[in-house]
Amino acid sequence: MTTYIIRRLLLVPVLLFGVTVLIFAMLQFLSPVERTALYVRDFPKNDKAIEGLIKRYGFDQPIYVQYWTWLVGKVDKTSGVREGGILFGNFGYSRSASQPVAELIARRFPNTLDLTIWTVAPMILIGIWMGVQAAVHHNGFIDQAARVFSIVGTSFPTFVFGLLMLLIFYANLHWFSPGRLSDAYNQVVDSSSFTHYTSLLTFDALLNGRFDIFLDALRHMFLPILTLSYISWATFLRVTRGSMLETLRMEYVTTARAMGLPERDVIFKHAQPNAMLPVLTLAGFSIVGLLGGVLITETVFNYPGIGSAAARAATSLDVVAMLGFALFNGLILIVANLVVDVLYAFVDPRVRLS
């Protein structure tokens, strides 16, 4: 087990190196002029401006030099200040957000993490529960209803569903609002009287003893959570149902029945834990997806997470920010894969010991 984790950990730097090479390679698809042009508003009044920028950013240097500069940084000849590369957390400057990409990620990611934490439970647990019910009542009414629900869920575009939720629960009923927090609470949170212990708003609200802020934050997260859960329920339902049906046909389940185990125990002790392995994989991917930012949901509900920032960077051709997000997502993916693999080893003895 320990060697397994160590082996996986040793792989992380290799994977990260691969990711940086890949992302840097993507950057090379743009010519120096194109890369500079992205920084130029309208276009320069003098052609020499672009050449100046190309020189300033070192786009005229050999690719390996550029890669090295990008990776570890360089020394500014005029000011003598050392500018770190991505290894020192310098992901470049986002034109669309007018701030360093690392700062942007640092500010947006806690919100995404907060949303992820509150979404995971309803998304996964309810999805699994529905899938188990559908499988247990195979071909019965519940199964049929679940299948209809699942088809509707998969075919409903997030975008449409999200706007629908807004229309009903916000514009008409005024129950839930888009955004992160009500304006009045926003000012409290921004003030010095509010301590940011974790950067996660809901937890900070509780730690500050502000239950009202906690509730307000949840009220703003409700619709995103519902939307994210709804579109994922369909997938979880289908995977769980399929996996459960398969497991229920396994002979050890029949054996369990044959030995006189009550049906409840047959399902929840023998079938479900084994059926959960593919679901665990799915859950891993889903959580990675949530952590990487959910572009559409965050955008529709104006939730200031990493997804809405990425969406904005993409729509405004902010290549630097996009690469930063890609790098960050690669990092999350690698870490999350590691966690899922380790978890897998915990729940599946076959993985643990082989």
Partner 1 sequence: MRKMFTLLSLLVVASMALAACGGTSTQAPATGGDATQAPGDTSAPSGFHAADTTTLVVAESEVGIDTLDPALAYDTASGEIIQNVYETLVFYDGDATDKFVPQLASEMPTVSADGTTYTFKIRSGVKFHNGDVMTPSDVAYSFQRGLLQGGTSSPQWLLTEPFYGVGVDDVSLLVDPEGNLYDDREALSAADPATLVAACEQTKAAIVADDAAGTVTMTLKQAWGPFLPTIAQTWGSVMDQKWVVENGGWDGSCDTWQNFYGMASADDPLSGIANGTGAFTLDKFANGEEIDLVRFADYWREPSKLERVIFKQVPEWGTRFAMMQAGDADLATVPSANRSQMDALVGIYQVFDTASNTYGPEQEVCGYDETALGAAKFTPCAAGETGNGGQFRLRIGRPVISMDVLLSNWNIATSEESPNPYIGSGKLDGNGIPADFFSDVHIRKAFGYCFDFDTLLNDVFSGEAVQSFQLPLAGMPGYFPDTPHYTFDLAQCEAEFKLADLDKDGIAAGDDPEGDVWTTGFRVQMAYNQGNSTRQTIAEILAGNLASVNELFLVETLGLPWPAYLRSQRAKQLPLMTGGWQEDIHDPHNWYQPYTTGTYGGRQSLPDDVKAQFRDILERGVSETDPAKRAEIYKEANTLYYDLAVGIPLEVTTSHGFSQRWLQGVVLNPILSGNYYYPMYKE
Partner 2 sequence: MTTSNEETILQVEDLKMHFPIYRGVFQRQVGAVHAVDGISFDVRRGETLGLVGESGCGKSTTGRTILQLYKPTAGQVHFNGVDLVSLKGEELRMMRRKMQMIFQDPYASLNPRMTVADTVGEPLMVHNVATGKEIQERVQQLLELVGLNPAFASRYPHEFSGGQRQRIGVARALALQPSFIVCDEPISALDVSIQAQVVNLLEELQEQFNLTYLFIAHDLSMVRHISKRVAVMYLGVIMELADRDDLYLHPLHPYTQALLSAVPIPDPVADARRTRTILEGDVPSPVNPPSGCRFRTRCPIAEKICAESRPDFREVSSGHFVACHMVK
Closest to partner 2 by CB, 126 vs 277, is 277
Cα gap 27→67, rounded to integer Å: 10
- In this structure, the number of other CB atoms found within 10 A of the CB of residue 205 comes to 23
Closest to partner 1 by CB, 50 vs 331, is 50
Q: How many residues bind partner 2 (CB under 8 A)?
A: 24
Pairing of strands 73-75, 82-84: antiparallel
CA torsion sign for 315, 321, 324, 325 is negative
**Residues between 219 and 248 that touch partner 1 (CB under 8 A):** none
Among 279, 288, 284, residue whose Cα is nearest residue 235: 279
Cα gap 261→234, rounded to integer Å: 31
Closest to partner 2 by CB, 98 vs 354, is 354
Task: Select from 119-127, 199-207, 301-309, 345-353 the region that touches partner 2 (CB under 8 A).
Answer: 345-353
Closest to partner 1 by CB, 144 vs 255, is 144
Task: Select from 88-96, 207-215, 242-250, 265-273 the region that touches partner 1 (CB under 8 A).
Answer: 88-96
Closest to partner 1 by CB, 48 vs 350, is 48
Smallest distance from the beta carbon of 144 to partner 2, in angstroms? 7
Q: Is 347 near partner 2 (CB under 8 A)?
A: yes
* Tokens at 48, concatenated: 């020499």
Q: Which of 311, 327, 333, 345 binds partner 1 (CB under 8 A)?
A: 311
* Tokens at 47, concatenated: 């052609």
State the angle between helix axes of 101-120 and 211-248 in degrees (0 to 180), rounded to the nearest 10: 60
CA distances from residue 330 to 87, 232, 289, 324, 333 in whole angstroms, order as listed = 14, 22, 11, 10, 5
Amino acid type, 163? L
* Tokens at 112, concatenated: 């995404």
Closest to partner 1 by CB, 7 vs 41, is 41
Residue 51's Cβ-count burial label (10 Å; 0-12, 13-18, 19+) is middle
Residue 326 binding partner per list partner 1, partner 2, none, with a CB distance cut-off of 5 to 8 Å that depends on partner kind = none
Residue 130 binding partner per list partner 1, partner 2, none, with a CB distance cut-off of 5 to 8 Å that depends on partner kind = partner 1
CA distances from residue 88 to 67, 245, 336 in whole angstroms, order as listed = 14, 50, 22
| 262: region left, alpha or beta (phi > 0 left; psi from -120 to 50 alpha) | beta
Among 191, 173, 177, 180, residue whose Cα is nearest residue 214: 180
**Residues between 231 and 260 that touch partner 2 (CB under 8 A):** 250-252, 254-260
Smallest distance from the beta carbon of 92 to partner 1, in angstroms? 9
Amino acid type, 207? L
Q: Is 335 near partner 2 (CB under 8 A)?
A: no
Cα 173 to its chain centre, rounded Å, is: 30
**Residues between 266 and 325 that touch partner 2 (CB under 8 A):** 270, 273-274
Closest to partner 1 by CB, 69 vs 281, is 69
**Residues between 131 and 170 that touch partner 2 (CB under 8 A):** 139, 144
Q: Is 261 near partner 2 (CB under 8 A)?
A: yes
Residue 275 binding partner per list partner 2, partner 1, none, with a CB distance cut-off of 5 to 8 Å that depends on partner kind = none
Q: How many residues bind partner 1 (CB under 8 A)?
A: 73
Smallest distance from the beta carbon of 258 to partner 1, in angstroms? 28
Closest to partner 2 by CB, 173 vs 258, is 258
Q: Is 41 near partner 1 (CB under 8 A)?
A: yes
* Residues making contact with partner 2 (CB under 8 A): 139, 144, 250-252, 254-262, 265, 270, 273-274, 347-350, 353-354
